[in-house]
Amino acid sequence: MTCRFNFGKSLRLAQIKAGVSSTELASRLDITKQQVSQWRYRQDAKLSLVEKVSEQLNISPIHFLELSDGGRIAWREFCSKSR
């Protein structure tokens, strides 16, 4: 079973919380600013990308994922039941 979250929304909120611009994040990840801009509007992403981005924004991957749903943990409960 798949658990959905909004990667772009989480990214935008995490950047704001961390005070990190798209240019700065791109530099930290050694990618272009345009790539980060594209990510900001993606609906989903691989876990490996979530881990890379959250590490650079000094936030746990779990907290990163929770940002897209207002911090609710319902998705975690759903995912744990689906195993």
Each residue of 11-44: pLDDT tens digit? 999 999 999 999 999 999 999 999 999 999 999 9
At a CB cut-off of 8 Å and minimum separation 6, what does 82 contact? Answer: 1, 3
Residue 78 has pLDDT above 50, yes or no: no
Residue 2 banded pLDDT, cuts 50, 70, 90: low
* Sole residue written with tokens 């990214």: 11
Report which of residues 21 and 75 the model is more confident about: 21
The overall average pLDDT reported for the chain is: 86
Mean predicted confidence (pLDDT) in 33-57: 95
The two tokens of residue 66 are 């929770």
Expressed in angstroms, the distance from the first to the final Cα of the chain is 8
